[in-house]
Amino acid sequence: MQYKKLGRTDIEVSALCLGSMTWGTQNSEAEGHGQIDIALNHGVNLIDTAEMYPVTPINHETQGRTEEIIGSWFANTGRRDDVIIATKVIGGGSSAIKDREGADISPATIREAVEGSLKRLQTDYIDLYQFHWPNRGSYHFRKYWAFDPSGQDRNKTRDDMAECLRTLGELVNEGKIRHFGTSNESCWGVSQFLDIAEAEGLPRMASIQNEYSLLCRIYDLDLAELSINEDVGLLAYSPLAAGILTGKYQGDVTPAGSRRTFSENLGGRLTKNVFPAVDGYLAVSNKHGLDPSQMALAFCISRPFMASVIFGATTNQQLENSLKAVNLSLSDDVMADIQSVRREHPMPI
């Protein structure tokens, strides 16, 4: 296993991060525990979760169950110190958390969410606490793919950010969280958090969790430059594009038990442009004798701004197969062929 420093912290995280968002619906507690055991045995030390998980599908009855499954593993094994745990508080506008009524991230909701996560995780501290998406909205999740400036107030946005960072600073001093990260953020948003933190001596952002895969590479633009120069590593989610890059949906099919049985278009990822792009990447893996999933994950791991690549699995076979990606070094010929496919299909999703 490869390890990298997480931002400017003293934490070293594994190149692969175990995602958990299926635990509690698609995967049982026992299966979740088994996945943790397998991943740790292969050197993975980072697990990513969120207060709203599981998300296949999202509902109030199962909300928080994923954290509870991780918490029961901690209680059963006593191995809390062997794991770097990353969790998240949801942003404004979502009704995923019962009784919060879509409230924005604020000092009050941060404290409420942290206490809830600590209880479910059965731990005294969270290693990386992340904002799931910004209060002002996000152009991620393929809703728009465009910035909408209407209604945005720069001063209010910065004031809200500063208030939240001050609360995070208090929680760090109380020993309840160690470090801060964000998710589904923009280059401007990350730069504001960094600027405010430096000006006021508040917790510095260690990471940003955005989508990144062979099919979704908008991070290669401005955020990549920011990551390198400001030491804010990417925690890439959906590196297999919700399973699309495995090839299992080619021919527009829906395998039994797959995520597509919960989400027909996989969060907007299944478009008319996706299938020919995946054909291209499958041809590259076939030409070079590579497993397509491992090639896709190894590509993500190789990116210079990458802190860790978050992958999930619903079966142990999928998990074991993905873990082999850390031992795969892509040759110059493979990278050149990948670049050729990208030129032909620059933004399929």
- Pairing assessment for the beta strands 12-14 and 3-5 based on DSSP bridges: antiparallel
Q: How many CB atoms lie within 10 A of CB 291?
A: 16
Beta strands in the chain (DSSP E): 3-5, 12-14, 16-19, 46-48, 84-89, 126-131, 177-183, 205-209, 233-236, 306-311
Angle between helices 107-121 and 154-173 (to 10 degrees): 40
Asked if residues 131 and 90 have their Cβ atoms less than 8 Å apart, the reply is: no
Query: Smallest Cα–Cα separation from 125: which of 169, 172, 91?
Result: 172
User: Strand pairing partners for 130?
Assistant: 88, 181
135 Cβ neighbours under 8 A, 6+ residues apart: 91, 92, 104, 105, 157, 160
Asked if residues 164 and 131 have their Cβ atoms less than 8 Å apart, the reply is: yes
C-alpha to C-alpha distance for 238 and 257, rounded to whole angstroms: 18
- Pairing assessment for the beta strands 233-236 and 177-183 based on DSSP bridges: unpaired
Question: Does the annotation mark 212 as catalytic?
Answer: no
Structure tokens at 16: 């692969």
> Helix, strand, or coil here: 59?
coil
Active-site pick, 3, 53, 144, 249: 53
The label of the residue with tokens 């026992």 reads 30
Query: Smallest Cα–Cα separation from 49: which of 105, 103, 99, 120?
Result: 120
C-alpha to C-alpha distance for 51 and 64, rounded to whole angstroms: 5
Residues serving a catalytic function are: 53
